[in-house]
């Protein structure tokens, strides 16, 4: 979401709430949830929630279960690693090519997303943070001029999980938010190598958080 974007529709609000709940493990893998139950959880009517769940099913985050609702798709450690590896292969070199190529208005829009993400992380607002995190990465990648690449990264993000990576002090979330600033600083004033290194370090933080939380084996 751009900082000056119009207010999200009810379907978009439901989508953000449910997506964040899945990514951060509040809706656990393998659980089945009906649209009415989820509507009560997010505090809105059933129709936008059902629409959001159908979209998430199309993106591979949930599976419809006849007469019961939707099952949260389980991801193995190997699948998570493979997804992160694909993001690394696609995003890091693309961000490197963007070094020193963005104009002042583009940098200002991205900076607003970075600052919004830092604020959301400081307030432990997972829903807002996840939306801003997604917006930052996709907005940055759009400047490469490859819509298929942006769509690929958008869908890969839906396959990642951040289970158990948010202890009481919220440090990992704040570290991820700070990583956006490091990427933007490198793109704005650094060399392509520095921009790529910042992107790789940022993506590896997610992998380290999984390992620390015990969700996946230590990095090979």
Q: What is the pLDDT of residues 160-177, one digit of tens each?
A: 876 544 444 456 788 889
Which domains can be identified in the chain, with CATH numbers?
10-72 (1.10.10.10), 77-213 (1.20.120.530)
pLDDT at 79: 86
pLDDT digits (tens, 9 = 90+) for 101-115: 999 999 999 999 999
> pLDDT class for 38, splitting at 50, 70, 90?
very high
What is the C-alpha R_g of the chain? 17
Higher pLDDT, residue 163 or 98: 98
User: Which residue did the predictor score with more confidence, 120 or 25?
Assistant: 120
Q: Is the pTM value of this prediction over 0.75? A: yes
Comparing 100 with 3, which gets the higher pLDDT? 100
In the chain, the percentage of residues whose pLDDT exceeds 70 is: 85
Does residue 216 surpass a pLDDT of 80? no
How far apart CA 179 and CA 152 sit, in angstroms, is 21
Phi and psi at residue 27, to the nearest 5°: -105, 105
Proportion of the chain above pLDDT 90, given as a percent: 62
- 3-12, 124-133, 208-217: least confidently modelled range: 208-217
* Contact present, 9 and 142 (Cβ < 8 Å): no
Residues 170 and 117: beta-carbon distance below 8 Å: no
C-alpha 134: how far from chain center = 5
Residue with tokens 């959880």: 41
Say if residue 99's pLDDT is above 50: yes
């Amino acid at each position: 979401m751009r900082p000056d974007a119009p207010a999200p529709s009810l379907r978009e609000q439901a989508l953000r709430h449910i997506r964040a709940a899945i990514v951060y493990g509040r809706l656990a893998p393998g659980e089945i949830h009906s649209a009415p139950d989820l509507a009560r959880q997010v505090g809105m009517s059933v129709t936008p929630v059902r629409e959001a769940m159908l979209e998430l099913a199309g993106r591979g985050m949930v599976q419809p279960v006849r007469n019961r609702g939707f099952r949260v798709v389980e991801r193995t450690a190997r699948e998570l690693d493979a997804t992160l590896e694909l993001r690394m292969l696609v995003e890091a070199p693309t961000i490197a090519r963007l070094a020193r190529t963005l104009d002042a208005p583009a940098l200002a829009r991205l900076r607003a997303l970075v600052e919004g993400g830092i604020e959301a992380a400081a307030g432990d607002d997972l829903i807002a943070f996840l939306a801003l995190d997604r917006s930052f990465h996709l907005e940055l990648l759009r400047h490469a001029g490859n819509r298929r690449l942006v769509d690929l990264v958008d869908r890969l993000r839906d396959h990642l999980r951040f289970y158990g990576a948010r202890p009481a002090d919220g440090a990992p979330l704040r570290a991820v938010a700070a990583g956006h600033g490091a990427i933007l600083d490198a793109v704005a004033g650094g060399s392509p190598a520095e921009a790529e290194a910042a992107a790789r370090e940022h993506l590896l933080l997610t992998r380290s958080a999984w390992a620390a939380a015990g969700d996946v084996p230590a990095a090979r």
